Amino acid sequence: MVDLSTTIGSLSLANPVMPASGTFSDELAQVIDLDRIGACVIKTITREFRAGNPTPRVAETGGGMLNSIGIPSKGLGDFLDRIVPVYRRIQAPLIASVSANTTADFAALCRDVSVDGVEAIEVNISCPNLEADGHAFAMRPDLTEEVITEIRKATTLPIWAKLTPNTGDIAGVARAAEAGGADAVVVANTILGMSIDLTTFRPSLGSGMGGFSGPAVKPILLRMAYQCSRAVSIPVIGCGGISTASDALEYIVAGCSAIQVGTATFVHPTAMITVLEGLEAFCRERGLARLMDIRGAVGAVGETAGDLPAQPVPAEAV
Amino acid sequence: MTLMPTQPEIPNASDRQFAVAERECAVISNDAVNAEYRMLVLSAPPVFTAAQPGQFFHLLCPRGGGEAPFFRRPMSVYRVDPDKGEVAFLYKVTGAGTESMAALRPGDGFNILGPLGIGFDLPDGIRHVLLLARGVGLATLAPLAQVVAARPDVRATAIFSARKPEFLMSVDYMAAHGVDVVGVTDSEGTSAVDRVESLMRDLLAGGNGVPPVDAIYTCGSNRLMRLAQKLAAERGIFGQVAMEQQMACGLGMCFCCVRDFNVGGDIVHRRVCCEGPVFDLQEAVSW
């Protein structure tokens, strides 16, 4: 039996595969067994009701998608009354995801979602759709440290800071999150992008710009996850373009303690299970008793790679 | 580090039966039915042939001439045959997704996800249903013929609208299931809303031993939907409409496919994929 388990601070997970916020809900239980995944990271909630953005809310691109869903949320009451009880029946721990527009509101919302049944809080300080012109807390280290510091005072649950790739200093932002008291960083949210419909000369998305995700973004987000894992000592959770076990393995070798599958689930709702089974197959093929033994095994530029675990694997095994 | 035996022992998915599945199906046939429409017939497992009228599948369109479409494409099920293990889709080539579908050949694999969404409801006590559709909306209403055929107490009439008579599909199929089909077309000048309204008013009145229409199902035309809303409201009868919207996940996770609905005077968003695609006729908002 291969040991796929991982730890994110004080939280132990049976395996490192979890959904990216916004690409998952309990409706997926119609297709896969949710008890098999490592954690359930649910769609971001806000305190108040939010209708979300105008349609079209998504556009497909070469190898990915743009979205400006706009965080439709039924609010805190629905989360506490309806969502938390649903996930009590699922083995995988429930990770709340929250967003707010000010530091004080962020802290207060984190306090209020810290209820029995919630195992950690992913704080979405990165969503590019919320703030004017795509700005977000996690674009700047000082704002990140300030908001995480206040959230840290408001809850005893583990805090996962979800970072944005729309910053020039991802490692600096990750260090700021660590300094503020985050238990992990999630690297990262979507890249701000746009596309234009040439029949109408209007943006393809109803709100103009949106978040770019999918297989096409993986090299950029993998690089950022790698930089963050070198910059901080708290766990890094990789997120960005992961569709296959190979993609997930790259993030783990880059230093990630867990990975999130997002856009891939929209195309293949079984994607998380496929990734999970592929990770297990990889470990068997390579004789790895523990998947996390290869976490951070990437050789730095100029270093010797050292003893690689066993021999190269045929591509089809992964 | 030792290399362990390479025999993979990946645990199978639990024995639990899932209501929705993602499977690669073999193409049985994929032929043109007229100048605009094609029918794709797939070999399908029981989880797929359990699809109810009005439900849809999410199709992973293959690579066509250029890049593969990134998302799946939702398409309502046209026909299911549990005995033969087949599902069929009636479609018109309108873009990159359907273009690549048109290239599928018998024996090819085609990955589909489903069945998805909430289908049509035929309440007890209904005596005469009217199917009102235009264009490819016929494909969505066609499976209701099977339901009606299984209910000898229910009579069915269809008013199908198309640009030309040759695009009136499924007439024989519907007739074989005991549905009276009235075709109206633009080229014959019979499809204008006031003419359809007159036909509908006759059916809603009933007479000569025919019970009045007491349920309306519609798909594929905003104008016909508004007409159906008006007449159904006048009579206070049951009605449903199948709606379309661009979709990403098809399961309710992404909130891409929302539309406005009028619920007791309040405009609310509903997800077409999982709160529909079949909705109460009077709650639908024109598009």
Angle in degrees, 0-180, between the axes of helices A170-180 and A141-154, rounded to the nearest 10? 30
Q: Do A58 and B248 touch (CB under 8 A)?
A: yes
Asked whether A211 and A66 are in contact (CB, 8 A), the reply is yes
What whole-number distance in Å separates Cα of residue A308 and Cα of residue B103? 45
The token pair that represents B239 in the structure block: 């009605």
Question: Among candidates A78, A125, A122, A75, which has minimal Cα distance to A97?
Answer: A122
Q: What pLDDT, on the 0 to 100 scale, is given for residue A308?
A: 55
CA distances from B123 to A267, B120, B127, B151, B219 (A): 35, 10, 10, 11, 19
A-chain residues within 8 Å CB-CB of B72? 267
Whether residue A135 is predicted with pLDDT greater than 90 in this model: the reply is no
Q: List residues of B whose CB lies inside 8 A of any A CB.
A: 1-4, 6, 8-10, 13-14, 16, 18-22, 60, 67, 69-72, 113, 245-246, 248-249, 251-256, 258-259, 269, 274
Left, alpha or beta for A77 (phi > 0: left; psi -120 to 50: alpha)?
A: alpha
Residue B104: other Cβ atoms inside 10 A:
18
What whole-number distance in Å separates Cα of residue A95 and Cα of residue A250? 24
Least confident of A137-146, B6-15, B208-217: B6-15
Per-residue pLDDT, averaged over B129-147, amounts to 92
B-chain residues within 8 Å CB-CB of A91? none
Question: Among candidates B198, B217, B74, B197, which has minimal Cα distance to B133?
Answer: B217
Whether residue B20 is predicted with pLDDT greater than 50 in this model: the reply is yes
Whether residue B162 is predicted with pLDDT greater than 80 in this model: the reply is yes
Mutate to test the interface with A, among B118, B255, B266 (most CBs of A within 10 A): B255
CA distances from B69 to A23, B64, B65, B72 (A): 19, 8, 11, 7
What does the pLDDT look like over B220-279, one tens digit per residue? 999 999 999 999 999 999 999 999 999 999 999 999 999 999 999 999 999 999 999 999
Report residue B171's pLDDT band, with 50, 70 and 90 as the boundaries.
confident
CA angle B117/B123/B129 to nearest 5° reads 95
Mutate to test the interface with A, among B47, B254, B269, B274 (most CBs of A within 10 A): B254
Report the complex ipTM: 0.89
B-chain residues within 8 Å CB-CB of A57? 254-256, 258
Give the single-character DSSP code of B130. E
Q: Do A58 and B4 touch (CB under 8 A)?
A: no
Burial-class residue A217 by CB neighbours within 10 Å (0-12, 13-18, 19+): buried
Q: Do A269 and B251 touch (CB under 8 A)?
A: yes
Q: Peptide bond before B115: cis, by omega within 30 degrees of 0? A: yes
Write the DSSP assignment of B58-125 as a string of letters: EE-PPP-SSSPPSS-EEEE--EEETTTTEEEEEEE--SHHHHHHHT--TT-EEEEEEEESB-----TT
Angle in degrees, 0-180, between the axes of helices B222-235 and B193-205, rounded to the nearest 10? 30
3-state secondary structure of A60: strand
Per-residue pLDDT, averaged over B203-218, amounts to 94
Percentage of chain A lying above the pLDDT 70 cut: 92
Per-residue pLDDT, averaged over B156-177, amounts to 89
Total residues found in chain B within this entry: 287
What does the pLDDT look like over A257-314, one tens digit per residue? 999 999 999 999 999 999 999 999 999 999 999 999 999 999 866 565 555 554 444 4
| Helix segments in B131-267, DSSP class H | 137-141, 144-149, 171-176, 193-205, 222-235
Q: Which of B10, B249, B255 lies closest to A52 in CB terms?
A: B255
What does the pLDDT look like over A16-52, one tens digit per residue? 999 999 999 999 999 999 999 999 999 999 999 999 9
Q: Which of B8, B113, B253 lies closest to A25 in CB terms?
A: B253
Per the prediction, chain B carries an average pLDDT of: 90
Report residue A62's pLDDT band, with 50, 70 and 90 as the boundaries.
confident
Write the DSSP assignment of B133-161 as a string of letters: EETTHHHHHTTHHHHHHT-TT-EEEEEEE
Residue B166: other Cβ atoms inside 10 A:
13
The token pair that represents A101 in the structure block: 């527009």
Q: Does A118 touch chain B (CB under 8 A)?
A: no
Question: Among candidates B81, B102, B82, which has minimal Cα distance to B91?
Answer: B102
Report residue B196's pLDDT band, with 50, 70 and 90 as the boundaries.
very high
3-state secondary structure of A24: coil
What does the pLDDT look like over A201-225, one tens digit per residue? 999 999 999 999 999 999 999 999 9
The token pair that represents A43 in the structure block: 């769609």
Per-residue pLDDT, averaged over A60-84, amounts to 95
CA distances from B77 to B50, B54, B90, B198, B284 (A): 11, 7, 8, 30, 21
Pairing state between β B79-81 and B86-92: antiparallel
